[in-house]
């Protein structure tokens, strides 16, 4: 691998690394040379096995971000981390007229509050040791669009986009890059029902210029780029990885 894209000697922490996009990001970072700390509330054994099969290095820690402050201690429990990927997220669906306070708070806690306080803990650790760091947040197409029946998810992902820019403004001159990836429709367990609905699946494909659903590895490649020296002058960007959906 070209040195400009190499993550050799770096250590990355990926939240929600047990499945889907998080797993793909963890695996991609490991293939690029990083040691990956797989943080999840359930077992990340499968991800670690995949990393090991590629000859990469990884470890797992338990992290339940339904308590958004639980990540404050994460960077005291592991060796110095150079890359933070805030991937963990949840979604709740209901008409806005019926949406509950619990569903609002649960989503905002995981998708936005935890992202801020994990990033804060990471930045404090990086600055304390006088190093450099990369924060990669996982935004969404709903950072730009409204969607329907997902008010707290849309609000949280819009917040992630804004927070990415704010933290970039504050930390760019201190050696910390903060950027985000906005995935499009990706073929994961979370979208299985949509893909199984023939009419809905076709409607989605008709809107995507690339003519296909994204693979989790598509997001992994974008994460490697933003974590690498190739992206050293990129700050506050939200990289759409959506097959052209937002350009339509």
Say what the pLDDT of residue 33 is. 98
Say what the pLDDT of residue 72 is. 81
Q: Could you name the CATH architecture of 3-188+217-241?
A: 3-Layer(aba) Sandwich (3.40)
Question: What string of H, E and C letters represents the secondary structure of 38-75?
Answer: EEECCCCHHHHHHHHHCCCEEEEEECCCCCCCHHHHHH
Say what the pLDDT of residue 1 is. 55
How far is residue 248's CA from residue 240's CA, in Å, rounded to a whole number? Answer: 13
What are the sequence ranges of the domains in the chain? Answer: 3-188+217-241
Say what the pLDDT of residue 44 is. 96
Among candidate residues 75, 116, 122, 153, the one labeled active-site is 153
Per DSSP, what are the bridge partners of residue 61? 39
Question: Burial, 51: exposed, middle or buried (Cβ in 10 Å; 0-12, 13-18, 19+)?
Answer: buried
Say what the pLDDT of residue 192 is. 87
Q: Residue 85: phi, psi to the nearest 5?
A: -115, 110
Q: In tens digits, what is the pLDDT along the chain, a chain of 248 residues?
A: 579 999 999 999 999 999 999 999 999 999 999 999 999 999 999 999 999 999 999 999 999 999 999 988 888 777 799 999 999 999 999 999 999 999 999 999 999 999 999 999 999 999 999 999 999 999 999 999 999 999 999 999 999 999 999 999 999 999 999 999 999 999 988 788 889 999 999 999 999 999 999 999 999 999 999 999 999 999 999 999 999 999 99
Alpha helices in the chain (DSSP H): 20-31, 45-53, 74-77, 101-108, 114-129, 151-171, 192-196, 198-207, 216-227
The model's pTM: 0.96
Ordered DSSP codes for 19-32: SHHHHHHHHHHHHT
Q: Are strands 238-241 and 35-40 parallel, antiparallel or unpaired?
A: unpaired
185: annotated active-site residue:
no
Distances in Å between the Cα of 165 and the Cα atoms of 4, 101, 127, 132, 172 are 24, 28, 19, 18, 10
How far is residue 191's CA from residue 193's CA, in Å, rounded to a whole number? Answer: 6
């Amino acid at each position: 691998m070209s040195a400009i894209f190499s993550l050799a000697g770096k250590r990355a922490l990926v939240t929600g690394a047990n499945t889907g996009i998080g797993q793909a990001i963890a695996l991609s970072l490991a293939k690029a040379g990083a040691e990956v700390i797989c943080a999840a509330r359930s077992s990340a054994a499968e991800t670690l096995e995949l990393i090991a099969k590629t000859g990469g290095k990884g470890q797992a820690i338990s992290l339940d971000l339904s308590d958004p402050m639980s990540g404050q201690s994460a960077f005291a429990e592991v060796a110095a981390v150079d890359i933070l990927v805030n991937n963990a997220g949840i979604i709740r669906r209901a008409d806005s007229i019926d949406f509950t306070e619990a569903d609002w708070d649960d989503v905002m806690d995981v998708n936005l509050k935890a992202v801020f306080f994990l990033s804060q803990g990471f930045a404090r650790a990086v600055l304390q040791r006088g190093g450099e760091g990369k924060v990669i947040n996982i935004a969404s197409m709903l950072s730009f669009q409204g969607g329907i029946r997902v008010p707290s998810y849309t609000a949280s992902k819009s917040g992630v986009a804004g927070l990415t820019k704010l933290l970039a403004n504050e930390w760019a001159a201190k050696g910390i890059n903060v950027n985000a990836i906005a995935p499009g429709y990706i073929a994961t367990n979370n979208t299985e029902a949509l893909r199984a609905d023939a009419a809905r699946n076709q409607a989605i494909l008709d809107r995507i210029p690339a003519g296909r659903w994204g693979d989790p590895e598509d997001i992994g490649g974008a994460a490697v780029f933003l974590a690498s020296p190739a992206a050293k002058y990129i700050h506050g960007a939200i990289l759409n990885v959506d097959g052209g959906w937002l350009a339509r």
